[in-house]
């Protein structure tokens, strides 16, 4: 007979908690807490753009970089000898510095992260954490792996996109040291295996969507005016310029389009100028940053959701944007691009439509196909909702996480609010 354990304690570490741009991190944490798991939130930085309505979470989050660097260094040096794994951690640090080239100035940031890791190790021991889970494979994982060696608390990490493709430092070593290296897509898993990460250390866990499904399946009648939407930070990799040009291509169709752009960022001025130059001033609304609690209602008012992701000049790109999952969960038909892991979610002509990144004419063609066919929109929306529920839903992915944390005994198909947990 399985014996439930009361409130196993899991530490969560991410670059910024609770951040407006990474709602999936705190939604995942809160989802675990609703299922009886005690979560200790730890953040490298205090977020520059905090999520609205998460003040309680911010108040109980530990911020590792807060305070003076001198204090972190001196405290780390003073406390390090009290950890049984100190020598192991020092060995890892020296090995990493040699691998990353000690003559490169940036390499020595590892030494500072090592000393900050002492603070993290203290939190893990003081809070009696059974496991440490880390979102993003760059700086947070560098801190986490040294803290794990010091404290003896095992860790898992979740690799996303920028953190492996653009800032992928010591990835093979991180996979070796982690209990498991998780990632959001088969595309990422294949890449990590190709660069030398051991296949038995790798697994795919999705960033599960937490929105409630709409109570009624929407109608998809033909209209004279369609409101389409996109949401994301206004940066190059989101392809907002491509989408604006695509909307301009659709002038003269039997229907009109209003494009609602939710989000803000450094390219807003350029994008507003582009819209004006293309004569779209009245057809495009820049909504600015949108609180997460408003996104669901906004999505339900859309005829389609479009995300024109592309690779930027630094080769940064999205993995599988959670906002696409959220739109699909709301029965909003979607159009996106053939990039990274997106086709695992938006399967062309099955759960959505895809264009090639950067191809605004091709994107316009797919948007036109979607808006011109009520039957296509209805079919794609229904299949998309089923796909999100079965593969990208929060329950099933929280269950996968707990399995990799060593908290569940076996992998269920989903996870009800009460689940049998491993003791000890």
pLDDT in tens, 105-132: 889 999 999 999 999 999 999 999 999 9
Give the tens place of pLDDT for each residue, 219-255: 899 999 999 999 999 999 999 999 999 999 999 999 9
Predicted local confidence at residue 390, as pLDDT: 94
Range 9-208+394-405 has CATH code 3.90.226.10:
no
**Nearest one of 121, 128, 125 to 145, comparing CA atoms:** 121
| pLDDT digit string, tens, across residues 318-362 | 999 999 999 999 999 999 999 999 999 999 999 999 999 999 999
Q: Tens of pLDDT along 164-205?
A: 998 999 999 999 999 999 999 999 999 999 999 999 999 999
Question: Which has the closest alpha carbon to 13: 112, 131, 111?
Answer: 131
Q: Is the Cβ–Cβ distance between 89 and 117 less than 8 Å?
A: yes
CB 298 within 8 A of CB 229: yes
Please say whether the beta carbons of 122 and 79 come within 8 A: yes
Mean pLDDT lowest for which of 137-151, 363-377, 407-421? Answer: 407-421
pLDDT for residue 6: 55
- The alpha carbon of residue 248 and the mean position of all alpha carbons in its chain are separated, in whole angstroms, by 31
- CA–CA dist 291, 409 (Å, integer): 37
Task: Write out the two tokens for 193.
Answer: 């295996």
Burial class (CB in 10 A: 0-12, 13-18, 19+), 73: middle
Residue 172 zone, left/alpha/beta (φ > 0; ψ -120 to 50; rest): alpha
Supply the pLDDT for residue 212: 85
**Confidence (pLDDT) at 417:** 39
376 C-beta neighbours (distance < 10 Å), count: 16
- Distances, alpha carbon 309 to alpha carbons 12, 298, 312, 337, 358, in Å: 28, 21, 9, 6, 8
The residue length of the chain stands at: 424
Q: What residues contact 296, with CB distance under 8 A and at least 6 apart?
A: 211, 212, 326, 330
The pLDDT assigned to 93 comes to 98
Instruction: Give residue 410's pLDDT band: very low, low, confident or very high (50, 70, 90).
Output: low
- Round to whole Å and give the CA distance between 285 and 416: 40
Average pLDDT of the residues in 302-311: 97
User: Which CATH fold would you assign to the domain 225-389?
Assistant: Rossmann fold (3.40.50)
- Residue 21 is predicted with a pLDDT of 86
Residues 6+ apart with CB under 8 A from 78: none
Comparing CA positions, the residue from 93, 98, 27, 81 lying closest to residue 57 is 27
Residues of the chain with CATH 3.40.50.2000: 9-208+394-405, 225-389
Of 73, 178, 198, 195, nearest to 135 (Cα)? 178
Query: Among candidates 410, 375, 397, which has minimal Cα distance to 320?
Result: 397
Quote the pLDDT of residue 214: 85
The three-state (H, E, C) secondary structure of the chain, written as one string = CCCCCCCCEEEEEEEECCEHHHHHHHHHHHHHHHCCCEEEEEEEECCCCECCCCHHHHHCCEECCCCCHHHHHHHHHHHHHHCCCHHHHHHHHHHHHHHCCCCCHHHHHHHHHHHHHHHHHHHHHHCCCCEEEEECCCHHHHHHHHHHHHHCCCEEEEECCHHHHCCCCCHHHHHHHCCEEEECCHHHHHHHHHCCCCHHHEEECCCCECCCCCCCCCCCCCCCEEEEEEECCCCHHHCHHHHHHHHHHCCCCCCEEEEEEEECCCCHHHHHHHHHHCCCCCCEEEEECCCHHHHHHHHHCCCEEECCCCCCCCCCCCCCCHHHHHHHHCCCCEEEECCCCHHHHCCECCCEEEECCCCHHHHHHHHHHHHHCHHHHHHHHHHHHHHHHHHHEHHHHHHHHHHHHCCECCCCCCCCCCCCECCC
Q: How confident is the model at residue 1 (pLDDT cuts 50, 70, 90)?
A: very low
- Percent of the chain past pLDDT 70, that is, above it, reads 95
CA angle 320, 132, 323 (to 5 degrees): 20
- Give the pair of three-digit tokens for residue 364: 């316009």
User: Confidence band (pLDDT; 50, 70, 90) for 216?
Assistant: confident
Average pLDDT over the chain reads: 93
């Amino acid at each position: 007979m399985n014996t439930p354990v009361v409130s196993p304690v899991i530490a969560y570490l991410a670059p910024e908690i609770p951040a407006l741009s990474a709602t999936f991190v705190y939604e995942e944490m809160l989802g675990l807490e609703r299922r009886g798991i005690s979560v200790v939130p730890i953040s490298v930085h205090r977020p520059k753009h905090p999520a609205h309505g998460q003040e309680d979470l911010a108040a109980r989050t530990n911020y590792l970089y807060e305070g003076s660097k001198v204090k972190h260094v001196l405290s780390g040096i003073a406390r390090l000898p009290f950890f049984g794994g100190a020598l192991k951690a020092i060995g890892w640090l020296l090995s990493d510095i040699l691998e990353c080239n000690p003559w490169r100035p940036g390499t020595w940031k590892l030494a500072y992260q090592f000393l900050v890791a002492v603070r993290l190790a203290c939190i893990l021991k003081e809070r009696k954490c059974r496991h440490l889970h880390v979102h993003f494979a760059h700086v947070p994982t560098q801190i986490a792996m040294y803290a794990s060696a010091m404290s003896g608390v095992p860790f898992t990490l979740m690799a996303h996109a920028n953190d492996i493709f653009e800032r992928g430092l010591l990835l093979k070593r991180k996979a070796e040291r982690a209990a498991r290296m998780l990632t959001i897509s088969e595309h990422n898993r294949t890449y990590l295996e190709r660069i030398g990460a051991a296949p038995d250390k790798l697994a795919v866990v999705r960033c599960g969507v937490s929105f409630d499904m709409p109570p009624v399946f929407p109608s998809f009648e033909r209209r004279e005016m369609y409101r389409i939407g996109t949401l994301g930070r206004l940066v190059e990799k989101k392809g907002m310029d491509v989408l604006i040009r695509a909307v301009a291509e659709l002038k003269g169709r039997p229907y009109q389009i209003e494009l609602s752009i939710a989000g803000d960022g450094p390219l807003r001025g350029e994008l507003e100028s582009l819209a004006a130059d293309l004569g779209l001033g009245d057809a495009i609304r820049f909504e600015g940053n949108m609180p997460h609690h408003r996104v669901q209602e906004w999505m339900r008012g859309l005829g389609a959701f479009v995300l024109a992701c592309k690779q930027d000049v630094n080769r940064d790109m999205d993995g599988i944007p959670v906002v696409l999952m959220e739109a699909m969960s709301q029965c909003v038909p979607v159009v996106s691009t053939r990039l990274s892991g997106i086709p695992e979610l938006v399967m062309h002509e099955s759960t959505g439509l895809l264009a090639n990144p950067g191809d605004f004419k091709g994107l316009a063609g797919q948007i036109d196909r979607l808006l011109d066919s009520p039957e296509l929109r209805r079919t794609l929306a229904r299949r998309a909702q089923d796909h999100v529920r079965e593969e990208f839903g929060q329950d099933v992915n929280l269950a996968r996480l707990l399995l990799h944390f060593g908290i569940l005994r076996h992998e269920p198909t989903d996870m009800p609010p009460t689940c049998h947990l491993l003791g000890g």
